[in-house]
Amino acid sequence: MTTKVTTPGEKSLETTAEISKAIKAYYGGVKVAKEEGKPIIWSYGLTPREIFHAMDAHVIYLEHLPLMVGAKQLSGHYIQVAEEEGFSRDVCAFHRCFLGCAVASERDPYLDQFFVDPDFIIATNLPCMSESKSFLYAADHHNVPYYFIDAPINTWGKDIPDYAIEYYAGQLKGTLDFMSEHGLGTVDWDKLKEAVSLSKKLILLWNEIDKCRQAVPTPMGTVDGLTAAYPLIQLPGTQLGVTLFERLLKELKGKVERGEGVLDDEKLRLLWFGVPPFYNMGLLNYVEKYGAVVVKSMIEYIAGGAYDPSIMDPDKPLESLAYKALVDIVNPISENMVNFIRETVKDFHIDGVIGVVKRSCGLLPGYMRPVKDAVYEDSGVPTTIFDLDGLDIREYDDATSKANLDSFIEALLASKRR
Amino acid sequence: MITAGIDVGSLATKVVLLNENQLMSHEVSGTGVDATEAVKKAMDTALEKAGISFKDIESLVSTGAGKKKVPFESAQATEIICDTKGVSHICPGVNGVIDIGAENCRVIKCDQEGNIIDFALNDKCASGTGIFLDAMAKALRVKPEEMGELSLQATQDIEVTSMCSVFAESEVVSMIHRRVPKNDILRGIHRSIASRICGQANRILLEGQLVVMGGIAQNLGLITILKELMGSELIVPDEPEILGALGAALLAGEGEGEK
Amino acid sequence: MTTLERMIGILDAPEQVVMDWKAKGKKVIGYRCLYVPEEIIHAAAMLPYATLGTPEPITKADSYFQPCACEFVRNIFDLGLDGKFDFLDGLVLSNTCDAVRHLKNMWTTYIDSVPCYMLNNPQKMYDEPAFKFYRHELEGFKKTMEDLSGNKISDASLRESIDLYDETRRLLKELNGLRRRDVPPISGAEALMISMAAILMPKEETNALLLQLIDEVKTREIKDADGPRIMVTGSIIDNPTLIELVEDMGGVVVADDLCTSMKYFWYQTKPNEDPMDAIVRFNLERSVCACMHPSEERYDFLQEVIGEFAVDGIIYFNVKYCHPFVYESATFRKKLEEETPVLALEVDHSLSGLGQLKTRVQAFIEML
Ligand code: SF4
Ligand code: SF4
Ligand code: SF4
């Protein structure tokens, strides 16, 4: 059942509007590069973007394109195309959508602005192993070579042993060589070191941005935050990313000083866990009628937002990137994730956690219960969990989603009154 | 203080009137196509039974899927809040609530004081609810209110595997053709619904002493299987369908929805 | 009682195997799945025990896993929560799919009675750095097993264990090789049950029984061998029901590319001076699981089996929400179908909804 009640989220910051423009410009650049005969890469997941930026590579990111398609409510169509290709509904909707875009015989004009066939593919199994599988199909379909980056899962917590770093760093080296062999020129190590140092800066800025967001009332909710996370996820290792974050930080600091919040009278602060409905970000604004703000969402932390960058050493670029990827909160063993969310709930003064289950995701739903229990034990903060596919609009049911939010928030308010 | 609770379900509209939290009257009537009209009517009847007039009501809370259609000024609350309130009023100290309505099934876990600890709503699929049963009743040509009784007379266990009402209907029709005894099919249907509800309850680890409410709570066949599957103690109160409205009226007494 | 009956009988009460072992005062380590080297556990004088599921519906686990986690994993966790695996002295998982990774999380967080260990195997094969990484992991694993058992693992004892397990694999392969015949000596359901029993039992006993069994069935012929020859593949199947279903519909199941069968025994270790290295290579140079890269090799393996066993049709039994195989079947299907028809089915691990499956299998077999 599709509902026609979807609305875009209401953003309130100037810098996030700028970031949106940067996203458009980025993909516009990919199209131009293709026309100029430069190789186009498809990649995905936690493949360190720094190595791409250091090679001046033009990359389409498999989880990002569906987001853009999804925000225009177009994902349903392409997902359908993939299903007709034999991909069951259990397969991640992002990957179904992307595969649909890849194999569709016709693409609508919006998608056509961004979509470019690959010359080769860089695949990985981090965060979720299924995804490396979807690449095989794409590589077959386009008959292009691919390189596979195998990420060890993090069974160690924060202390990653040297042999694991060495293994992962070795594969990054392999990726660089592979890119060289496929038309991207020789590896410029100075540039890579520069990228790592910019990446470090970027994360430090993000950490400061987070500090601002902990203020009551919060100057930026997750509707803006998800756009704001774009540089963190896609632009680490670039000056552009750093510049955007510097501006954002400035804007937020001003707001905090003036005591301006998304809502001036915040009654409840919420954390979103799982994939938000990209086709209907207005749902996150829906809770405002209760004086509630979704302050933060877990996916804003993917790709390094949740870790202490002091360990990054530009002189050891590959090892630094390896560490960053291996300790990521979504490198599936839950210890880092659970600990991190625990802290987030405290630092951000969260009153309740909204956990949404995207049934076609092999990764995130598995964290729900451990996170719920840890947060409750630690801070007495409750979590509600319900089904919501953030990308496949066909699965969306507005009434049920709102009923879940209403019930949860009323219960929260009732317990606050006690 | 005289308070009112209105619960506008998709099939039935319930009104409860309280005076100092004591029941004055209640009324249950079909919602039909015009919910607003249905609420007015149910309210009038309830007022008449109580022997008071609308202006005597000092505070009013409405709940249920159609709560926005209530033509009077009132505060609104979700079913989760109202159900819990109503249930802990008549059965204090229970561990949770299972509310099986026409289109929705809700499970709620609460503490001794009636505070909500956790809850789960059914997803958009209606297979654990009343309309699913109604559709099956039609397919089998039995009266919905007799289904439960008949299912208790089953002699064998049949598996109805389809969860979706459309598929389940064709599955049931094919069973009728194969001359599977009606009662056995009915038991299969009830088992399928019960296991759905049980799954929903498992998601929030609901156990202990539970109250079953909502229109379907009167279906003894379902309750019997549910007990079997859940291994919990299930209490079905006398008027299981008005507990949501009762909770709303109690909330009204706490100052919500004062005129 | 024939040896065949005896072996199949093991599955009625697999715990008995464990009880007998434990009666000797020795420990038992549960494991999931093919990438856990049983040899290391065995060399520490413990019994590696394959934790299989049951077709029971899932209860408590549904509050921990969301319903979209593979049902097999939820089933194992359900049994764990219920204390059904409390007889184990440890559970070892290997890094394969997202579901198993979460099983590790859940187990460590919620089940205290049995410690859980994750062996971090790479997912890249034929790769020197991967070998090196894996060697480190295996050394750690060996140490853990030594500590758990209190027994040192010497190269000699490890070598002995490898030989023992190789022998099991060799015998199983020999037995199943007989199914190449026009009229196979054992049915698909029987073959699966034999493999499962062989996997569960201590290998010293298994090997003796398998020798007898091969002798016993050499001259046997199954009754209905006229139907199309079927290979089943896909996620784990730990119950013969699905195979029986295919055979009831007239298919002759001649090959079963399953973790409880062919995937387990098709390959043996290669000669190697260093037994640890032999294990490293064994796991990273055999292409049996959809979790591993590259996947071309696995495709070749399927082709090899199709050719050798004169397969007429392939049935993928993918456990619902098993992403690795859902992807694999979608990716391989087109290529495979150029020569051999493929039916890809999603099945409930709890085996509900068999009616609908039956219809589809029947239509497929009739088409062949
Ligand atoms: S983490 Fe989940 S949503 Fe993201 S790509 Fe993987 S399966 Fe899809
Ligand atoms: S398919 Fe792979 S992951 Fe699954 S049990 Fe078999 S070897 Fe293990
Ligand atoms: S059945 Fe599939 S998803 Fe489940 S554990 Fe095995 S490989 Fe993983």
Cα–Cα distance for residue pair A333/A335, rounded to 1 Å: 6
Distances (CA, A) of C17 to A68, C22, C48: 56, 9, 11
ipTM score of the complex?
0.94
Task: State which ligand 2 atom lies nearest to the alpha carbon of C235.
Answer: 1
Neighbour order of strands in the sheet with B96-100: B116-121, B105-110, B96-100, B209-213, B233-235
pLDDT band at B124 (very low <50, low <70, confident <90, very high): low
Top mutation candidate among A124, A128, A302 for ligand 1, by most atoms within 8 Å of CB: A128
Cα–Cα distance for residue pair A290/A414, rounded to 1 Å: 12
Looking at the CA of C97, which ligand is closest? Answer: 3
CB contact under 8 A, A359 and C333: no
pLDDT of A1 over the 50 cut: no
- Give the mean pLDDT of A103-131: 90
CB contact under 8 A, B121 and A400: yes
- Give the mean pLDDT of A75-92: 90
Cα–Cα distance for residue pair B214/B101, rounded to 1 Å: 5
Question: B123 contacts in A (CB within 8 Å)?
Answer: 386-387, 397, 400
C63 closest CB neighbour out of B159, B161, B203:
B203
Looking at the CA of A64, which ligand is closest? Answer: 1
Cα–Cα distance for residue pair A336/A342, rounded to 1 Å: 10
C93 lines ligand 2 (CB under 6 A): no
- In this prediction, residue A306 carries a pLDDT of 62
C234 lines ligand 3 (CB under 6 A): no
pLDDT cut 70: percent of chain B above it: 95
pLDDT per residue as tens digits for the range B57-100: 999 999 998 999 999 988 999 999 999 999 999 999 999 999 99
pLDDT of B125 over the 70 cut: no
CA of C69 from ligand 2 middle (Å) equals: 15
Strand, helix or coil for residue C178: helix
**Chain C adjacent subunits, 3+ CB pairs under 8 A:** A, B
Question: A410 contacts in B (CB within 8 Å)?
Answer: 77-78, 80-81
The tokens for C166 are 């190789």
- In this prediction, residue A2 carries a pLDDT of 39
CB contact C55 to B (< 8 Å)? no
Assess contact for A157 and A336: CB atoms under 8 A. Answer: yes
CB contact under 8 A, B80 and A414: no
pLDDT of B168 over the 80 cut: no
Assess contact for A306 and A328: CB atoms under 8 A. Answer: yes
Question: C318 contacts in A (CB within 8 Å)?
Answer: 88
Cα–Cα distance for residue pair A357/A389, rounded to 1 Å: 7
What Rg, from alpha-carbon coordinates, does chain A have? Answer: 21
Highest mean pLDDT (candidates A336-345, B135-144, C51-60)? A336-345
pLDDT of B16 over the 80 cut: yes
Interface of B with C (CB under 8 A): 159, 161, 195, 198-199, 202-205
C246 lines ligand 3 (CB under 6 A): no
What Rg, from alpha-carbon coordinates, does chain B have? Answer: 19
pLDDT per residue as tens digits for the range A167-195: 999 999 999 999 999 999 999 999 999 99
Distances (CA, A) of A85 to A70, A96, B77, B104, C24: 20, 10, 46, 35, 55
Question: C106 contacts in A (CB within 8 Å)?
Answer: 366, 369-370
CB contact A376 to C (< 8 Å)? no
CB contact under 8 A, A407 and B203: no
- In this prediction, residue B22 carries a pLDDT of 95
Cα–Cα distance for residue pair A102/A42, rounded to 1 Å: 11
Cα–Cα distance for residue pair C41/B24, rounded to 1 Å: 73
Cα–Cα distance for residue pair C98/C90, rounded to 1 Å: 21
For residue A413, the chain B residue with the least C-alpha distance is B81
CB contact A88 to C (< 8 Å)? yes
- In this prediction, residue B173 carries a pLDDT of 82
For residue B109, the chain A residue with the least C-alpha distance is A411
CB contact under 8 A, B204 and C59: no
pLDDT per residue as tens digits for the range A256-304: 999 999 998 999 999 999 999 999 999 999 999 999 999 999 988 887 7
Assess contact for B109 and B224: CB atoms under 8 A. Answer: no
- In this prediction, residue B58 carries a pLDDT of 94
Higher-pLDDT residue of A72, C26? C26
CB contact under 8 A, C295 and A163: no
Neighbour order of strands in the sheet with C28-32: C47-50, C28-32, C90-94, C116-119
CB contact under 8 A, B202 and C59: yes
Phi, then psi, of C5 in degrees rounded to 5: -60, -40
CB contact under 8 A, C355 and B199: no
CB contact under 8 A, A407 and B80: yes
**What one-character DSSP code corresponds to residue C148?**
H
Question: C326 contacts in A (CB within 8 Å)?
Answer: 87-88, 90-91
Average pLDDT taken over every residue of chain B: 90
pLDDT in tens, chain C (368 residues): 899 999 999 999 988 999 999 999 999 999 998 999 999 999 999 999 999 998 888 888 988 999 889 999 999 999 999 999 999 999 999 999 999 999 999 999 999 999 999 999 999 999 999 999 999 999 999 999 999 999 999 999 999 999 999 999 999 999 999 999 999 999 999 999 999 999 999 999 999 999 999 999 999 999 989 999 999 999 988 999 999 999 999 999 999 999 999 999 999 999 999 999 999 999 999 988 999 999 888 999 999 999 999 999 999 999 989 999 999 998 899 899 999 999 999 998 877 778 788 999 999 999 99
C33 lines ligand 2 (CB under 6 A): yes
Q: How many CB pairs under 8 A join A and B?
A: 42
Question: B78 contacts in A (CB within 8 Å)?
Answer: 403, 406-407, 410
- Give the mean pLDDT of B236-245: 95
C99 lines ligand 3 (CB under 6 A): yes
C97 lines ligand 2 (CB under 6 A): yes
Question: Which residue has 């359908």 as its token pair?
Answer: A80
pLDDT cut 70: percent of chain A above it: 97
Find the range with the poorest average confidence among A324-333, B15-24, B124-133: B124-133
Cα–Cα distance for residue pair A309/A197, rounded to 1 Å: 10
Helix ranges (H only) for chain B are: 35-50, 79-90, 130-140, 144-152, 165-177, 182-203, 220-230, 243-253
CB contact B198 to A (< 8 Å)? no
Q: Is the pTM of this model over 0.90?
A: yes
- In this prediction, residue B128 carries a pLDDT of 61
- In this prediction, residue B144 carries a pLDDT of 84
